[in-house]
């Protein structure tokens, strides 16, 4: 199934509007343009507006109206379309690049503060990907450094921040109606301002240095920046379609989110608080973006990278004579370019096409996870599973006052505990919600009649009762919310015989706050292969979340070059002991002991990282 990156949504209605211009025999800028300008100003809530032939020239016109020119510097985000900076260059001023944040690629004011010189005259926040920069902060910044603000709102028609439309915060705001923009006139631009003085300047500049046409006397030097009624008539139809376009774009975003949910490897573009988001493109970040895009290309799905950082643009190499630009000063823009992918997002995109895209992304992510599973035991096999299992069973024995006979193991992983448990338990059911793990475990535990290894969650498991349920490997940290934690415990309670025991371990969130999960590297050689596994932990202590990412490189000892690259990541919740206790109580389980592997008889303290909870279902 072919999926283009973009298709404009124009058809018979736009065609009829153009034909009407021919019928009226008015094709240059005329009545349609006047009406379109009025309608746009109504939508945007600005006092004045003039057209330009495209977004780049709208920016140029705006800059010129602000008297920006040779000798001036304008702060431009490093992460934007070339046109933002080339408009500055066209005035004779110098674009000075500043970084953007990594969540939504809006202008980073700390980076901007470092770039200020005596020559800095203006800042150009670019409202990227259909959402908006935090304009109140940009305004404060501009006031502090006495800068003019020119908003690049090329991608932000219809987008508001706390109800105020993009383009109305600065001295001027500039829009583009290029074919891929939210509404289009094929090519086109619009500059808005609330200043009568600037409006007059804009009129002179765009209309050959005079206010009205029909005179050959030109008080100033100006240029021809007109549009045609053929274009603005199309724009008027598009504007009528805007509510539908916005609705469909939101549907598209919701579909992408639905079909790509629970994939910790993928991060969606996150709009700033207070800003609308009319997805210009649905943007995702993935560490192996280039490989994923190649894979999608083979499936005839056309994606785009995020913007190439302006400080790296060959066209701007000349700027390095006066300033030094290094990647390390632009972590936001560089990460955006390295990891960002624009997924197709246009009103004509069908639900089937979106499903096809998401299916293909999931296929690739699965392929990329495979090496991790393949080498999992090699990397983590050193743990003493035998002694851990024996300790667990001794604890269960003590609490049950007898040997457990029917055991459910939740989260079998690659089956290392399972293999040990199978030696002692007459009837063992082991489950995992990760099918790849279950496959590895099944290979390990072949021909054991007392063990059933299943790809299942507790909830989906066929009704059965157990006298012991075990959930080792930090299973509860994979549960994202309190509601889900309670329902997980409740379904375990429903599987336990009265008086049955539930034993599980968890990472203690309180201890993690003092000593959060860390980055670490594991390097080893096995069967002539060098295996390097880099674990990266990104922890947000406020939301008690950790994202663990595993980057695996396998190098053949003989070839000395990487032959496999694996990548996978997990989201984990760092539950506090209090939260665990409260969820257990809600699920009808009582904690009879908590301890750590170091000492199973002494109660765990809040500084213990790995706590083992022992729970009982009422007899
Ligand atoms: C952020 C941004 N600025 C400026 C422009 C330039 O607009 P145009 O292509 O209409 O010249 C674009 C268009 O792609 C853009 O995305």
Q: Which residues contact 138 (CB under 8 A, 6 or more apart)?
A: 107, 109, 123, 125, 149, 169, 170
Q: Which of 557, 220, 597 is nearest to 388 (CA)?
A: 597
pLDDT computed for residue 557 by the predictor: 82
User: Rounded distance, CA 495 to CA 463, Å?
Assistant: 7
* Cα–ligand 1 centroid distance for 152 (angstroms): 8
Rounded to two decimals, what is the model's pTM? 0.90
Half-sphere exposure of 343 (CA within 13 A, CB side): 27
| Chain centroid to CA 135 | 22
**Using a 6 Å CB cutoff, which residues line ligand 1?**
54-56, 80-81, 83-84, 126, 152, 154-155, 176, 178, 189
Do 98 and 78 meet the contact criterion of CB atoms below 8 Å apart? yes
As a whole number, the mean pLDDT across the chain is: 95
Other Cβ atoms within 10 Å of 605 Cβ, number: 13
Q: Which residues contact 447 (CB under 8 A, 6 or more apart)?
A: none
575-590 b/e with 16+ CB inside 10 Å = b?
bbbebbbebbeebebe
Ligand 1 mutation target, pool 124, 176, 227, most atoms within 8 A of CB = 176
* Cα–ligand 1 centroid distance for 185 (angstroms): 13
Q: Which of 398, 415, 416, 413 is nearest to 468 (CA)?
A: 398
pLDDT in tens, 190-243: 999 999 999 999 999 999 999 887 788 899 999 999 999 999 999 999 999 999
- What's the fold here for domain 385-512+575-617? Rossmann fold (3.40.50)
* Cα–ligand 1 centroid distance for 503 (angstroms): 59
Do 193 and 172 meet the contact criterion of CB atoms below 8 Å apart? yes
Same CATH fold assignment for domains 12-349 and 385-512+575-617: no
Beta strands 120-123 and 589-595 are unpaired
Ligand 1 mutation target, pool 58, 154, 183, most atoms within 8 A of CB = 154
* Cα–ligand 1 centroid distance for 59 (angstroms): 9
The helix (run of H) or strand (run of E) holding residue 431 is strand 427-432
pLDDT computed for residue 163 by the predictor: 97
pLDDT computed for residue 560 by the predictor: 78
Ligand 1 mutation target, pool 60, 81, 189, most atoms within 8 A of CB = 81
The helix (run of H) or strand (run of E) holding residue 574 is none
The DSSP annotation for 591-602 comes to EEEEEBTTBSSS
The residue contributing the CA closest to ligand 1 atom 14 is: 81
| Token digits of residue 590 | 């009582």
Give strand pairing partners of 570: 548
Instruction: Give 347's DSSP letter.
Output: T
Would you kindly state where each structural domain of the chain is located, as residue ranges?
12-349, 385-512+575-617
pLDDT in tens, 23-71: 999 999 999 999 999 999 999 999 999 999 999 999 999 999 999 999 9
The sign one gets for the Cα dihedral 496, 501, 502, 508 is: positive
pLDDT computed for residue 337 by the predictor: 97
pLDDT computed for residue 277 by the predictor: 95
What would be the CATH architecture of the domain defined by 12-349?
3-Layer(aba) Sandwich (3.40)
pLDDT computed for residue 98 by the predictor: 98
* Cα–ligand 1 centroid distance for 82 (angstroms): 8
pLDDT computed for residue 11 by the predictor: 96
* Cα–ligand 1 centroid distance for 74 (angstroms): 17
Coil, helix or strand at residue 375 = helix
The ranges of the chain with pLDDT < 50 are: none
User: Rounded distance, CA 347 to CA 251, Å?
Assistant: 9
């Amino acid at each position: 199934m072919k999926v283009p990156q973009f298709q404009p949504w124009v058809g018979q209605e736009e065609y009829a509007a153009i034909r009407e211009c021919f019928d009226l025999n008015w094709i240059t800028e005329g009545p349609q343009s006047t009406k379109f300008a009025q309608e746009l100003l109504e939508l945007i809530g600005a006092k004045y507006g003039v057209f330009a032939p495209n977004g780049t020239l709208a920016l140029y016109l705006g800059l010129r109206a602000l008297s920006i020119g040779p000798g001036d510097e304008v702060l431009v985000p490093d992460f934007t379309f070339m046109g933002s900076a080339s408009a500055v260059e066209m005035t004779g001023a110098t674009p000075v690049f500043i970084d953007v944040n990594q969540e939504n690629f809006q202008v980073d004011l700390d980076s901007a503060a470092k770039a200020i010189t005596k020559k800095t005259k203006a800042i150009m926040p670019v409202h990227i990907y259909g959402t908006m920069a935090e304009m109140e902060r940009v305004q404060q910044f501009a006031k502090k450094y006495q800068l003019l603000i020119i908003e690049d709102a090329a991608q932000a028609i219809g987008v508001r921040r706390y109800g105020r439309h993009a383009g109305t915060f600065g001295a001027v705001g500039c829009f583009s109606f290029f074919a891929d923009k939210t509404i289009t006139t094929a090519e086109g631009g619009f500059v808005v301002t609330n200043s009568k003085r600037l409006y007059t300047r804009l009129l002179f500049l765009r209309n050959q240095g005079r206010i009205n046409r029909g005179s050959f006397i030109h008080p100033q030097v100006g240029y021809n920046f007109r549009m045609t009624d053929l274009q603005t008539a199309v724009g008027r139809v598009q504007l009528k379609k805007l509510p539908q376009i916005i609705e469909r774009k939101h549907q598209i975003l919701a579909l992408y989110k639905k079909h790509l949910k629970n994939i910790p490897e993928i991060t969606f573009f996150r709009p700033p608080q207070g800003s609308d988001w009319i997805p210009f493109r649905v943007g995702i970040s993935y560490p192996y973006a280039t490989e994923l895009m190649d894979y999608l290309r083979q499936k005839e799905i056309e994606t785009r990278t995020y913007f190439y950082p302006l400080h790296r643009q060959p066209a701007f190499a000349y700027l390095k004579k006066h300033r030094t630009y290094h990647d390390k000063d632009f972590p936001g823009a560089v990460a955006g370019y390295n990891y960002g992918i624009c997924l197709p997002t246009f009103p004509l995109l069908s639900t089937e096409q979106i499903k096809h895209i998401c299916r293909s992304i999931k296929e690739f992510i699965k392929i990329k996870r495979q090496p991790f599973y393949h080498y999992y035991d090699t990397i983590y096999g050193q743990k003493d599973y035998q002694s851990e299992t024996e300790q667990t069973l001794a604890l269960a024995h003590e609490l049950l006052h007898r040997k457990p006979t029917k055991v459910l193991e939740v989260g079998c992983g690659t089956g290392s505990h399972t293999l040990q448990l199978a030696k002692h338990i007459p009837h063992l059911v082991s489950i995992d919600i990760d099918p790849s793990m279950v496959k590895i475990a099944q290979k390990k535990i072949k021909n054991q009649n007392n063990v059933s290894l299943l790809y299942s969650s507790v909830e989906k498991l066929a009704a059965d009762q157990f006298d012991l349920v075990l959930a080792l490997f930090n299973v509860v940290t994979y549960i994202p919310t309190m509601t889900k934690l309670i329902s997980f415990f409740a379904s375990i309670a429903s599987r336990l015989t009265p008086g049955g025991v539930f034993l599980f371990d968890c990472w203690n969130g309180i201890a993690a706050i003092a000593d959060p999960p860390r980055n670490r590297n594991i390097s080893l050689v096995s069967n002539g292969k060098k295996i390097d596994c880099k674990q990266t932990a990104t922890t947000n202590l406020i939301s008690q979340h950790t994202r663990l990412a595993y980057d695996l490189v396998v190098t053949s000892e003989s070839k000395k070059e990487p032959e496999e690259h694996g990548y996978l990541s997990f989201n984990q919740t760092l539950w506090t002991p209090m939260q665990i206790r409260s969820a257990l109580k809600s699920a009808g389980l009582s904690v009879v002991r908590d301890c750590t592997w170091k000492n199973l008889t002494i109660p765990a303290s809040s500084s213990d990282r790995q706590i083992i909870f022992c729970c009982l279902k009422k007899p």
